[in-house]
Structure 1
């Protein structure tokens, strides 16, 4: 009889609601009391997310229900750069801002300019005429820095938007009024020399005066390539150096010879300056320091 009662009671307990089953059930049979502890019958399931973002690989493994997974939006990335740098070199004095896409790739936007003529010599020769150079550079640029081996070695590429003012002043040979510029086998005299110095048959010209030329490169966008090094000194500070070149293109010269017969010499001097193609390939040499956030 006791076995039958216990069986019936167990069945009743299993058929009870989850709320009642959560509390102990006490059954009294004559003088015996039996306590039954009910097991919970509800099981909670946690839904898997629609996608899982792999922060190490930087990819979305399952794009179901998501277009992009990540912790930073494009706007957050743009207003939170990875680094700022100061630089000096043949492009001038300047600075740039970098945004890291991953541990091997960084976008850069920068500017370099000022009077940088002395950094690459300050003068040049065009067909035996020596010219002193003054510059006022403005070189905004946009590029990418790669660390192909994941260490300090870097490779760079990008575009410069050059707006460089270059003024070349001719240096006459000899001194005083007898100074001259040797141009295409002829002598273009600054002033009026002794008649026995002038040979009209070879095209000598007197009273040319001082010669000055403004040079402008024809490329409005100049591609560049560099290689370099960027070691970190501390967690935040590093240094860098780069070597390379930018293709600025051929030059256009505007020549002014201010003497009485200067106009006779300007076209030939212009041709020789443009044939020289001064800084057609602009050398890039730069050093700098970087602060990383």
Structure 2
């Protein structure tokens, strides 16, 4: 006899219940093991990225399974706003999606439509075959699926900033996330996420979204910027990435231990340069 399974609390509920900003990190390595290590960190949410990371359906599935037993909310970012890709991610069991490059209200409406079954949306019906419904072990999944899902739209261009009020107002948009890296590039300030003009736009976006009563988040790896955006009213934030932590940590080890002057073997002559 099938065992009823309750779906995990989604990102929208976590944001609604939070008494402080939710702090998270990126999982970009494509590794279920690394994702599980991050899931046990004590952070609030984990963004499993498929836009700039080597993730396919199988690796996403493995990571969702790896983090499922931990008190962290997984959010998955597809590479593009595509209803077919979104359908596949939802069937894998992703409940919270962060949609990149949402520039207009029409983009936002397409994102919302992509996560819902008809008549509200266009999601294809294959729940009996999918982990999303735990293979029909979640009671009344087709009727209740929308209750488990959230869609966060990512604002990362000057076009999106210009359309921010219309985007935020779209019914079904759960939250808005600001991406300063691409935003800076679209402003002609490539690689300058901390430029005063970029910071000013981000803070104005935070205030605009907040005025609609919707949660707003931002990406900020540099702690001073992260603290500033939290003080400006960000409800959720990403402050690091698995691959960046490994890269910087391994570099620190190399700096600490590979030093010719300190590590010359006893009895050996120091290296000479000419």
TM over 0.5: no
User: Which band: TM-score by shorter chain?
Assistant: under 0.3
As a proportion of its length, which structure holds more helix? Answer: 2
Higher relative contact order, chain-length normalized (CA < 8 Å, sep 6+): 2
Q: So what's the TM-score if we normalise by structure 1?
A: 0.17
Q: So what's the TM-score if we normalise by structure 2?
A: 0.18
As a proportion of its length, which structure holds more strand? Answer: 1
